[in-house]
């Protein structure tokens, strides 16, 4: 049975499984009736995979009162045993717990072999062939099925000492009945192969099994862990070898020589890749080295193979469009259109109001008139939707464009790749600053030689959440044609949001005193005053001035999760203010958080398996950063229904860790999205976050109105702090070296 520091506060129960009322094969969630005494039953709920009627169950948990079904026992930990008495064995086998045995066959087996029935099934299957209706082949199949189940039970019991039931099921699915031997031989295979099990847990298991601190497998796993969590999770694509070894040696409490030996072994095995770059040795996880080299080589191919258009023809195209649509393109816009038509790869960058969308529309017209198929795409659903609305041309997420395959839970992949190329002739990709190294490599693999690629983005925004700094590296390499738009057009210049954004980006202080514009500053001193003002703006002041319809378009964006004006505290305050408890609202507590019907929530990790429906169309996948509203909480089915802009998805209670409140989100999470109204708390925090490009990114999320709440000196400090987060990436070096 699992051990826990909370175990002394749990209540034990024991009995025989009378009825399995409900069982979810995917995650093991079950509802059962447990007979604890003759004629006395209790209802148990929780993650209990492989539960069958007739089994003896010992469980620990807590009593809860369900609003519909009354008093139930919520199981936290449990162990089970095969039934021992003839009546319990008969009930167990009659429940079809063993494939091939139904109630009639179960009766015959128990009548003949009594309490020895399980021993006969496992060790003497040929004896079963003496019974009516059981051939020798069927007897063998029954025995194999029983032994497989017994193996799974053994694995579940072993794993139950170290992990939850959901992870234990994954372990059995990955390794089968040999799981225990595999884990004992190398516990660190768990953090390599099993989703949800990290190095720390695998390390605890290894120590409990007596593996030495300097065991080679431990050090190898620790080096990989360092690469994943000190490199990838911080946006790095590689780490300098000396830095990586120092971190790994400290983490593992081993010598630098031992860490270096493990690194060399991983390089020899092909799990790590080591290259000399910038005067030092650099270590990559293999997949990231392959991704960067793929990006470089495929961009080179696209540039070389795509035939350029004649400059005279391009000029005539532009003149024709200006006459047909009554437009007058600025010189830099004409240059951008010309550049896109003359190159296989072109980068278009610029801040808000500089005319990027106008250029996209022009290129759609030009390429369309040439009979070329065009694909528009962006990294997120919100960005793709905004692109569609601005261009009146369908835009997809990159995941949808590449037709992500959900058949594998642990290793989702794209159907469109180098072996199944996309059909389109032109690819226009927006919000490229958000695209990380692996997604860019996947996109480029699927683009056919001869196609044109236009990458659009704002290089002054924050880099991608995932590892890499692709757009900035491409621009810095100076290998591909790049147009930077700087002129702010007259209509856009009337917006203080846009003029202040450009001021911030140029290192100049924004205008904070204006009262008749779309950019407002509300001075407050303490974090608590800032938080209360934000709540008042959302709940009272803005709806009173602009009408209640403004509520759905307000997004609070804050620099950090921490502090009284960070996302954690603000989400609790805004939920209380905007969506308080009510008799008509069901809710579910998950850890310290209460999820309530009507709550605004965000998906915080990619989940490729969640099914959704929209207008009769079914699909899969809800991704990191998607924002929705909880429409229903079904306590009996333990299910939460969420509406993501019309995509209706159902989460069971075991998946609630993937959701968090989104009344307030961090600036990083807001990337790629625009909101009608943005409220930005400005409060003292670490200089690492209070930077110029973070403030610039936050301000440019607003379409109609931005309100800064806080301290003017912090605003000035952010403008002055042009600190760029260091990311170790090799793409610029590879491009310059090879191209």
Whether residue 181 is predicted with pLDDT greater than 50 in this model: the reply is yes
d(CA 320, CA 312): 12
On the question of pLDDT at 43 being above 90, the answer is: yes
Q: Mean pLDDT, to the nearest integer, of 656-669?
A: 92
State mean pLDDT over 598-616. 86
Give, as one character, the DSSP assignment of residue 726.
P
Per residue in 588-598, pLDDT tens? 988 788 999 99
Distance from the first to the final alpha carbon of the chain: 60
pLDDT value at 420 more than 50:
yes
Rounded CA separation 283/543 (Å): 54
Cα–Cα distance, 551 to 560 (Å, whole number): 23
- CB pairs under 8 A, 24+ apart, for 150-158? 150/122, 151/176, 151/177, 152/50, 152/177, 153/50, 153/80, 154/180, 155/179, 155/180, 156/49, 156/50, 157/79, 158/183
Q: 83 near 56, Cβ under 8 Å?
A: yes
Task: Tell me what pLDDT residue 1 has.
Answer: 38
Q: Tokens 């905004």 — which residue?
A: 386
pLDDT bucket at 411, cuts 50 / 70 / 90: low
Give the pLDDT band (50/70/90) at residue 4: very low
The pLDDT of residue 536 is: 96
Mean pLDDT to the nearest integer, 244-268: 95
**pLDDT, tens only, 321-342:** 888 878 888 888 889 999 999 9
Q: What is the pLDDT of residue 492?
A: 64
- Which whole-number Å values give the CA distances from 480 to 40, 176, 328, 426, 735, in the listed order? 76, 51, 27, 17, 10
Task: Compute the distance between CA of residue 425 and CA of residue 209 in angstroms, rounded to an integer.
Answer: 57
pLDDT of the residue at 408: 52
Q: Which of 12-26, 386-400, 451-465, 672-686 has the lowest mean pLDDT?
A: 12-26
- Provide the pLDDT for residue 314: 84
pLDDT of residue 2: 41
φ/ψ (deg, to 5) at 317: -60, -45
Q: Taking 90 as the threshold, does the pLDDT of residue 438 lie above it?
A: yes
Indicate if the pLDDT at residue 708 is higher than 70: yes
Top-ranked range on mean pLDDT: pick from 13-22, 132-141, 257-266, 409-418 = 257-266
Reported confidence tier of residue 272, pLDDT bands at 50, 70, 90: very high
For the ranges 154-168, 425-439, 598-612, which has the lowest average pLDDT?
A: 154-168
CA–CA gap between residue 245 and residue 224 (Å, rounded): 11
C-alpha 322 chain-centroid distance? 44
């Amino acid at each position: 049975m699992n051990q826990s520091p909370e175990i002394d506060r749990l209540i034990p129960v024991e009995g025989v499984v009378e009825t399995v009322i409900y069982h979810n094969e995917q995650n093991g969630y079950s509802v059962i009736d447990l007979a604890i005494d003759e004629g006395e039953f209790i209802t148990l709920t929780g993650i209990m995979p492989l539960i069958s009627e007739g089994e003896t169950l010992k469980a620990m948990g807590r009593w809860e009162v369900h609003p519909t079904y009354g008093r139930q026992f919520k199981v936290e930990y449990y162990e089970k045993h095969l039934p021992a008495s003839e009546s319990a064995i008969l009930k167990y086998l009659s429940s079809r717990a063993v494939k091939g045995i139904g109630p009639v066959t179960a009766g015959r087996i128990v009548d003949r072999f009594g309490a020895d029935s399980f021993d006969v099934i496992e060790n003497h299957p040929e004896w079963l062939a003496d019974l009516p209706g059981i051939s020798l082949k069927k007897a063998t199949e029954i025995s194999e099925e029983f032994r497989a189940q017994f193996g799974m039970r053994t694995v579940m019991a072993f794993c139950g000492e170290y992990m939850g039931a959901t992870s234990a099921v994954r372990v059995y699915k990955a390794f089968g009945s040999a799981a225990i031997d595999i884990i004992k031989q190398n516990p660190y295979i768990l953090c390599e192969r099993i989703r949800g099990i990290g190095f720390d847990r695998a390390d605890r298991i290894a120590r409990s099994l007596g593996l030495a601190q300097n065991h080679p497998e431990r050090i190898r796993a620790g080096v990989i862990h360092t690469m994943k969590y000190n490199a990838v999770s911080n946006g790095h694509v590689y780490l300098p070898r000396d830095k990586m070894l120092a971190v790994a040696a400290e983490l593992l409490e081993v010598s630098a020589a031992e860490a270096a030996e493990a690194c060399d072994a991983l390089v020899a095995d092909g799990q790590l890749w080591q290259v000399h770059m910038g005067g030092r040795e650099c270590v990559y996880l293999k997949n990231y080295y392959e991704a960067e080299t793929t990006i470089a080589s495929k961009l080179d191919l696209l540039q070389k193979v795509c035939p350029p258009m004649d400059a005279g023809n391009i000029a005539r195209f532009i003149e024709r469009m200006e006459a047909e649509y009554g437009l007058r393109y600025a010189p830099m816009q004409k240059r951008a259109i010309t550049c896109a038509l003359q190159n296989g790869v072109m980068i278009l960058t610029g801040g808000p109001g500089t005319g990027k969308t106008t250029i996209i529309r022009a290129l759609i017209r030009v390429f369309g008139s040439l009979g070329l198929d065009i694909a528009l795409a962006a990294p997120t659903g919100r960005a793709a939707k905004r692109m569609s609305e601005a261009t009146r041309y369908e835009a997809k997420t990159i995941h949808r464009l590449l037709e992500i395959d959900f058949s594998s839970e642990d290793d989702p992949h794209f159907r469109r790749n180098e072996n199944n190329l996309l059909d389109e002739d032109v690819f226009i990709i927006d919000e490229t600053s958000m695209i990380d190294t692996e997604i860019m490599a996947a996109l480029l693999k699927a683009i056919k030689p001869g196609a044109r690629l236009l990458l659009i983005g704002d290089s002054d925004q924050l880099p991608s959440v995932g590892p890499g700094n692709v757009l900035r590296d491409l621009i810095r390499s100076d290998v591909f044609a790049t147009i930077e738009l700087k002129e702010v057009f007259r209509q856009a210049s009337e917006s203080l949001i846009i003029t202040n954004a450009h001021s911030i980006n140029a290192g100049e202080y924004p205008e904070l005193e204006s009262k008749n514009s779309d950019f407002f500053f509300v001075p407050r001193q303490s974090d608590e005053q800032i938080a209360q003002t934000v709540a008042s703006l959302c709940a009272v002041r803005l709806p009173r001035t602009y009408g209640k319809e403004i509520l759905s378009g307000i997004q609070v964006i804050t620099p950090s999760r921490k502090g009284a004006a960070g996302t954690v505290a603000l989400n609790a305050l805004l939920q209380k203010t905007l969506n308080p408890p009510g008799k008509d609202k069901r809710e579910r507590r998950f850890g310290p958080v209460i999820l309530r019907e009507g709550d605004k929530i965000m998906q915080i990790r990619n989940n490729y398996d969640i099914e959704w429906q929209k207008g009769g169309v079914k699909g899969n996948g809800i991704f990191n950063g998607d924002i929705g509203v909880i429409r229903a909480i079904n306590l009996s089915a333990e299910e939460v229904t969420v509406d993501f802009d019309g995509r209706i998805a159902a989460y069971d209670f075991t998946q609630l860790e993937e959701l968090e409140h989104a009344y307030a989100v961090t600036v990083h999470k807001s990337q790629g999205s625009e909101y009608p109204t943005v409220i930005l708390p400005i409060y003292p925090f670490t200089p690492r976050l209070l930077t110029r490009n973070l403030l610039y990114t936050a301000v440019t999320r607003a379409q109609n109105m931005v309100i800064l709440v806080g301290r003017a000196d912090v605003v000035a400090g952010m403008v002055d702090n042009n600190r760029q987060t260091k990311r170790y990436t090799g793409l610029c070096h590879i491009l310059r070296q090879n191209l």
